[in-house]
Amino acid sequence: MSDFDYGAYFRPILPLADATRSAETRFWGEGAEKDKRPHDYILYLGCNVLRTVALAETIVAILDELGVDFVPLGGPATCCGIIHHGNGDLKVSDKLTRQTLAKFEGYRPRAVLTYCPSCHAHMDYALAETGIAFEVPYLHVTEFITENLHRLAFRNRIDRRVYLHAHSDNEQARLDARFARTILEAIPGLEVLGEPGGGEWGHDCGGRQVGIIGKDAHDRLTAGMFDDARTAGADGIAALYHSCYRQFCGRETEQGMEVVHYTALVAEALGLPPAEEAFKTLKLESRPDRAADRLKDRAAARGLSEARLRATLDAHFRK
C-alpha cells in the first residue's frame, strides 16, 4: 500500500454531509441492503459531492421533477476506486470498482447516471483496461437531463448572464460541457457565456487534478476565468462539476462575482425550493470554531459527536 492517508481523505466526507444536509435523514443510499428493490436508474453521486451536499440534494430534486424511478447512491461505501488507482494501489482500486459495480447490478437498472466526472472517467478506464465486466449502460447525468428536457417545465424566468465553467480535455468532458450548455440555454431569460477551458485545466478542478497541473497554475487559470467572465459581461460563474464549484465558491468575495452550480439555476427555473448551500457559507467564513458552535445541536441530533463535527470542519475550512 502507498503512504497516502485514505482515512484523512475519506473520513470527513459523511460527517460534513450529515451536519449540513437539509433533510433530517440521508437521502442517498450505500447499496448495502441485501434485498434490493429494482429501479430504472441509479444516480451515482460518488464520494466527494457529499462535501457539497446541497448540490446532491439539488440533482435529486431535478430527477424527482422528471418523474423517473431512480435510487441515489453515494459516499465512500460506493467509491469508484480512482483515488486508490491514482496513488498506485491498483489491487485495492480494482476491488473497490468491482464491489461498487456489483452493487449497481443488484438494482437491475436500465442505466447508471453518473454525476462525478472522476468516477465516470474511472469507469471508462476500468471497463476498457482491466477486464471488469459490466453490462449496464452508463451516461453522465447532463446527457440524461438533455434527453428529457421536454419533460421539464421551467416556471421561472432568470434574467442573468452567466459564464459556464466546463472542461474539454477529452471527449466526455466536451460532451458534458455541451449538454450543460444545452440545459442552461433552455432556461427562459438566461444567457450562457464562455467556452470550455482548454487542456491546461485538466479533467476537472478536484484536488488530484489541481495537484497534477500545480496550484499556482490553477490559481492563475482561475483568476483569468474571472477576468474573462467580467470582460464578457457575466454576472456570475456557473460551474459544471462539483469539484470546480468547491474550488471557486470561496473566491466570491475577493472576485466580486457570484459562483453557482449549474443545477442551482435549473432548480430555480423549475421553481424548486433552494437547497441550503452550507459549504459556500462555511468556505467564505473560514471560521470552523464558530461554525461548530452553530451546527453542534443539529449534528448531535443526527448522531454526530461535537468532537467529530469540529474535526471535519477543521479538515475542510481551517485556513
In the predicted model, what is the mean pLDDT of residues 98-114? 98
Cα-only R_g, the chain: 19
pLDDT at position 208: 87
Which residues in the chain are classed under CATH 3.40.50? 1-152, 154-285
The phi, psi pair for 209, rounded to 5°, reads: -70, -40
pLDDT at 305 over 90: yes
d(CA 268, CA 82): 33
Band of the pLDDT at 1, cuts 50, 70, 90? confident
**CB distance 44 to 104 below 8 Å:** yes
C-alpha distances (whole Å) from 86 to each of 94, 126, 130, 143 are 12, 13, 15, 27
Q: What is the pLDDT of residues 205-262, one digit of tens each?
A: 998 899 999 999 999 999 999 999 999 999 999 999 999 999 999 999 999 999 999 9
- Give the closest residue to 270 by CA, choosing from 167, 127, 156, 111: 156
**CB distance 117 to 239 below 8 Å:** no
d(CA 311, CA 316): 9
* Residue 213: exposure state from Cβ atoms within 10 A (0-12, 13-18, ≥19): middle
**CB distance 51 to 283 below 8 Å:** no
* Residue 176: exposure state from Cβ atoms within 10 A (0-12, 13-18, ≥19): buried
Instruction: Give the other-Cβ count within 10 Å of 248's Cβ.
Output: 23
Domain over 154-285 is classified CATH 3.40.50: yes
Give the three cell numbers for residue 105: 447490478
Q: What is the pLDDT of residues 286-298, one digit of tens each?
A: 999 999 999 999 9
pLDDT at 55 over 90: yes
Band of the pLDDT at 32, cuts 50, 70, 90? very high
Percent of the chain residues past pLDDT 90, beyond the cut: 97
Q: What is the pLDDT of residues 132-179, one digit of tens each?
A: 999 999 999 999 999 999 999 999 999 999 999 999 999 999 999 999
pLDDT at 319 over 90: no
Given 3.10.50, 3.40.50, 1.10.10, 3.40.630, which CATH number is that of 1-152? 3.40.50
Q: What is the pLDDT of residues 181-200, one digit of tens each?
A: 999 999 999 999 999 999 99
**CB distance 309 to 276 below 8 Å:** no
**CB distance 158 to 190 below 8 Å:** yes
In the chain, the amino acid numbered 223 is: A
d(CA 80, CA 122): 7
pLDDT at position 44: 98
d(CA 13, CA 246): 13
pLDDT at 118 over 90: yes
- Helical (H) or strand (E) element with 136: none
